[in-house]
């Protein structure tokens, strides 16, 4: 692998999404946007990513942010059709 190819290698979507979320949360902590604006923006971007992989109803995605003194918690609940009624496979803990 050449020196330049390590910089040009395409990153997977999970680290990119994590980096975007960290930037948004840091921006929110600095007071750049109101919490409602941030949640609306996060909701739109998360819906775009989810819809690339699974067909979901936008009303079935809930996003909530709780701010504490030490940390903020972002909670995302996605109801995926067809997966809610399935039983886990034997020997599978999920």
pLDDT (tens digit per residue) in 12-46: 777 777 787 777 777 666 665 556 677 778 778 88
Within a domain: 21:
yes
Q: Distance between CA 44 and CA 37 in Å, rounded? A: 11
Within a domain: 25:
yes
Within a domain: 34:
yes
- pLDDT tier at 8, thresholds 50, 70, 90: low
pLDDT at position 60, please? 82
pLDDT at position 16, please? 78
Within a domain: 90:
no
Within a domain: 1:
no
Within a domain: 50:
yes
* Cβ burial, residue 53 (10 Å; 0-12/13-18/19+): exposed
* Structural domain that includes position 50: 13-78
pLDDT at position 77, please? 86
The token duo for 49 is: 């990513």
pLDDT at position 10, please? 62
Q: Count of domains in the chain?
A: 1
Within a domain: 94:
no
- pLDDT tier at 51, thresholds 50, 70, 90: confident
Within a domain: 56:
yes
pLDDT (tens digit per residue) in 53-94: 888 888 888 878 777 777 778 888 888 877 655 556 566 555
Whether residue 27 contacts residue 80, with contact meaning beta carbons closer than 8 Å, is answered with no
CATH number at residue 35: 3.30.1070
Whether residue 29 contacts residue 72, with contact meaning beta carbons closer than 8 Å, is answered with yes
């Amino acid at each position: 692998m050449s020196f330049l190819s390590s910089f040009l290698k395409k990153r997977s979507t999970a680290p990119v999404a994590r980096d975007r979320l960290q930037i948004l949360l840091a921006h929110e902590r600095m007071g750049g946007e109101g919490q409602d604006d941030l949640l609306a923006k996060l909701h739109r971007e998360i819906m775009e990513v989810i819809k690339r992989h699974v067909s979901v109803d936008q009303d079935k995605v809930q996003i909530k942010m709780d701010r504490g003194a030490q940390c903020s918690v972002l909670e995302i609940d996605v109801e995926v059709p067809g997966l809610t009624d399935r039983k886990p496979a034997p020997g599978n803990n999920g």
